[in-house]
Amino acid sequence: MAQEPSLKLDHITVVARTLDEGSAYIKNALGIDMPSGGAHPRMGTHNKLLSLGSDVFLELIAIDPDAEESGRPRWFNLDRFDGAPRLGTWVLGTDDIESALASAHQDSGVATQITRGDLEWLISVPDNGAMPMGGGFPTLIEWPTGPHPASRMTDLNCRLKRLTIEHPEVEEIERLIGHRIDTGLIKITKGTDLKIKASIQTPSGERELT
């Protein structure tokens, strides 16, 4: 029996109606200005990106008002997103996304090729654009061989200390991937509702994103 691929925390994603709203939220929470990112033509979105180390990062994502119609639902449930910016999901990296998806949550979707500038990668995207378990179950990503993209992002001396995921169906998350997560940063616990919280060390002290 083939060994299941290990999964390592890759990045955390703040979803927002606009990048301006999301940037203001992160500025208030972390005391930093989010650096620029790029656009995802296939999904009609754009983002801002902050390195949290050599192989993990913070993403802020929103619908790109200047994008052409993509012809499909946008990822991260952005077509239906409304309200204040929030930490919407977590993303785990793998060297073999097809194998990882074979034992992932049934709503994880399929490996989809995405581009941002000259960078291409594979990421799990459901056909309806929703997130499995509302974002409680992680998105899966496979980057091309080479240095992790976080190593090329702006580094403002922020580092992820802890990521906590609360979910009423925590047993299902643990059953599917609990034994495969290759990091000590993540804590998965039971809660009455989905809550994702990231504790981040910043130049002004330890702050939280929720």
- The residue extents of the domains of the chain are 8-154
Is the per-residue pLDDT at 182 higher than 80?
Answer: no
Contact 158, 50 (CB under 8 A): yes
Is the per-residue pLDDT at 124 higher than 50?
Answer: yes
Give the list of residues 6+ apart from residue 142 with CB closer than 8 angstroms, or none: 93, 94, 95, 96, 97, 111, 121, 122, 123
Q: What percent of the chain has pLDDT over 90?
A: 92
Is the per-residue pLDDT at 2 higher than 60?
Answer: no
Is the per-residue pLDDT at 49 higher than 50?
Answer: yes
Helix (H) or strand (E) holding 60: strand 57-63
Say if pTM beats, i.e. exceeds, 0.75: yes
CATH 3.10.180.10 fits 8-154, yes or no: yes
How high is the pLDDT of residue 5?
A: 63
For residues 187 and 166, give the distance between their C-alpha atoms in angstroms, rounded to a whole number. 8
Is the per-residue pLDDT at 3 higher than 90?
Answer: no
Compute the average pLDDT of residues 82-97: 97
As given in the structure block, the two tokens for residue 121 are: 């990668």
Contact 191, 167 (CB under 8 A): yes
Is the per-residue pLDDT at 78 higher than 60?
Answer: yes
Is the per-residue pLDDT at 4 higher than 80?
Answer: no
Is the per-residue pLDDT at 115 higher than 90?
Answer: yes
Is the per-residue pLDDT at 38 higher than 60?
Answer: yes
- Residue 82 DSSP symbol: -
What type of residue is 163? L
Is the per-residue pLDDT at 6 higher than 90?
Answer: no
How high is the pLDDT of residue 1?
A: 40
